[in-house]
């Protein structure tokens, strides 16, 4: 069967390509924005901007608290409106409480956090804490759309913030803006129109009941959060804490180099996120051994191709630096090579993580998160103060290698426990 025929008959493949294409286009537009921001702010202020956005992503994960995983598991594939409304109502109620709590605590300790991160901008931390709410609810709306099968709208909706960020780049270029606070606020708030569009589309289907108790659904949500909450919180730290530690220990120039190449490597993070958004809700519906085995057979076929793609990394990385953040960052070329290898390994891990959404046990999520978090914190705290930027990059690579091996081990163990008892 030709690829075109397969594309016509396979909803999974078609929507996967649409979602991945949307994510990549959005990443390219966001990359242009970052290029303009990095060039106009300069290395020192760009280090502050990157630190603030990294902290925003951590806050985002704390606000999420694993609730998006709950939506993927219990709302994904459901066609019963009452079932959908109950789970979404419970999740929104918890999310609103967390938002109020985390924002309040963040504002109280904003001065101390800014001092630890050596941020010179007085109001940058306040802007970060307040504006981080927008990406949090954007992610929630996207997960809801994807879980309800509205993948085309989710793909289009994902592009809206990217287009607004691109418009921000144009404004920065035209008006020569150099205010870190203003740029950061507009950058984070670019997600608000997408939240409105998503909720408008969901309006006929979703009826939030925030003041009604749903004991059965709440029990299931809390059971899932025992594992997914820690996993999500850890993920926020795993993906961003290295930049915060670098900002504390390293000169602004080295922090700027790390921030620059990390931004380039995020293109692969976007790809893995796009795959996750399609695969996780879809595979969550596979409750039988045959469907899961077919999925895993395809996963093993794709793995060698992804590993072979690493051959092109040394050839591409210098061009990626020069065409994006500029030749001034070429000294971090080796660091980018290692980050891109880590990114490919992460994509493979995402593919093999999907079956865990169909298994009865949720243990993998918390164990994988704990393992990564311990390694990323130890590697950065022990070695970055002495060995600098490369210690941070090598730590990330080691973490992704260990994660992939651990995922394969847990997949084998869980399969035997659930299907071969």
Contacts of 220 (CB under 8 A, 6+ apart): 74
Whether 366 has a pLDDT exceeding 70, the answer reads yes
pLDDT in tens, 317-350: 888 888 777 777 788 899 999 999 999 999 999 9
The whole-number pLDDT of residue 5 equals 52
Distances from the Cα of 249 to the Cαs of 229, 243, 256, 394, in angstroms?
A: 29, 10, 13, 17
The whole-chain average pLDDT of the chain stands at: 84
Where does residue 200 rank: exposed (0-12), middle (13-18), buried (19+ CB within 10 A)?
exposed
At 239, the pLDDT band (50, 70, 90 cuts) reads confident
At 7, the pLDDT band (50, 70, 90 cuts) reads very low
- One DSSP character per residue, 180-231 reads HHHHHHHHHHTTHHHHHHHHHHHTTT----TTS--HHHHHHHHHHHHHHHHH
Whether 353 has a pLDDT exceeding 70, the answer reads yes
Tokens in use for 241? 């804490």
CA distance 121 to 43: 15
Distances from the Cα of 62 to the Cαs of 97, 225, 244, 245, in angstroms?
A: 12, 12, 16, 18
Q: Which of 16-20, 170-174, 306-310 has the lowest mean pLDDT?
A: 16-20
Q: Which domain holds residue 146?
A: 3-419
Which residue, among 256, 252, 273, has the nearest Cα to 60 in the 3D structure? 273
* DSSP character at residue 359: S
Tell me the Cα Rg of the chain. Answer: 21
What percentage of the chain reaches a pLDDT higher than 70? Answer: 93
pLDDT in tens, 13-51: 565 667 777 777 887 788 788 878 877 777 778 888 888
Distances from the Cα of 66 to the Cαs of 52, 82, 92, 267, in angstroms?
A: 22, 22, 12, 23
Tokens in use for 351? 């593919």
Q: Half-sphere exposure of 227 toward its Cβ, with a 13 Å CA cutoff?
A: 17
Total number of domains constituting the chain:
1
CA dihedral 324, 330, 331, 336 (to 10 degrees): 60
Q: 379 or 204, which is more confident?
A: 379
Which residue, among 27, 234, 87, 63, has the nearest Cα to 138 in the 3D structure? 63
Q: 119 or 227, which is more confident?
A: 119
The whole-number pLDDT of residue 78 equals 61
Tokens in use for 101? 């709590």
SS3 362: coil
At 402, the pLDDT band (50, 70, 90 cuts) reads very high
The whole-number pLDDT of residue 383 equals 93
């Amino acid at each position: 069967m030709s690829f075109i025929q397969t594309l016509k008959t396979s909803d999974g493949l078609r929507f996967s390509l649409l979602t991945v294409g949307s994510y990549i286009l959005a990443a390219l537009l966001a990359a242009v924005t970052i290029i303009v921001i990095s060039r106009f702010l300069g290395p020192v202020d760009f280090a502050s901007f990157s630190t603030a956005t990294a902290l925003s992503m951590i806050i985002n994960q704390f606000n999420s608290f694993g609730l998006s995983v709950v939506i993927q598991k219990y709302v994904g594939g459901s066609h019963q409106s009452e079932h959908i409304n109950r789970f979404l109502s419970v999740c929104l109620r918890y999310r609103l409480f967390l938002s109020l709590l985390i924002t309040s605590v963040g504002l109280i300790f904003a001065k101390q956090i800014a001092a630890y991160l050596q941020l010179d901008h007085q109001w940058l931390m306040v802007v970060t804490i307040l504006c981080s709410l927008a990406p949090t609810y954007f992610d929630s709306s996207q997960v809801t759309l994807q879980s309800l099968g509205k993948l085309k709208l989710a793909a289009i909706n994902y592009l809206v913030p990217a287009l607004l960020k691109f418009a921000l780049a144009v404004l920065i270029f035209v008006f020569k803006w150099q205010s870190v606070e203003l740029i950061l606020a507009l950058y984070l708030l670019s997600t608000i129109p997408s939240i409105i569009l998503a909720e408008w589309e969901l309006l006929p289907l979703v009826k939030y009941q925030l003041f009604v108790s749903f004991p059965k659904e709440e029990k299931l949500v809390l059971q899932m959060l025992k594992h997914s909450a820690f996993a999500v919180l850890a993920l926020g730290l795993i993906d961003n804490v290295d930049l915060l530690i670098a900002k504390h220990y390293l000169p602004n120039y080295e922090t700027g180099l790390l921030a620059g190449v990390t931004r380039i490597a995020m293109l692969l993070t976007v790809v893995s996120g796009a795959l996750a958004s399609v695969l996780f809700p879809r595979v969550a519906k596979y409750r039988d051994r045959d469907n899961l085995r077919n999925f895993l057979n395809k996963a093993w076929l794709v793995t060698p191709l992804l590993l072979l793609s690493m051959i092109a990394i040394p050839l591409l990385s210098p061009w990626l630096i020069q065409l994006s953040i500029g030749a001034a960052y070429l000294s971090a070329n080796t660091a980018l090579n290692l980050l891109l290898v880590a990114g490919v390994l992460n994509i493979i891990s995402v593919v093999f993580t999907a079956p865990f959404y169909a298994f009865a046990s949720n243990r993998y999520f918390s164990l994988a998160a704990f393992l990564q978090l311990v390694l990323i914190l130890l590697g950065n705290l022990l070695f970055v103060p002495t060995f600098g930027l490369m210690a941070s990059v090598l730590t990330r690579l080691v973490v992704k290698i260990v994660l992939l091996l651990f995922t394969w081990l847990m997949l084998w163990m869980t399969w035997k426990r659930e299907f071969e008892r």
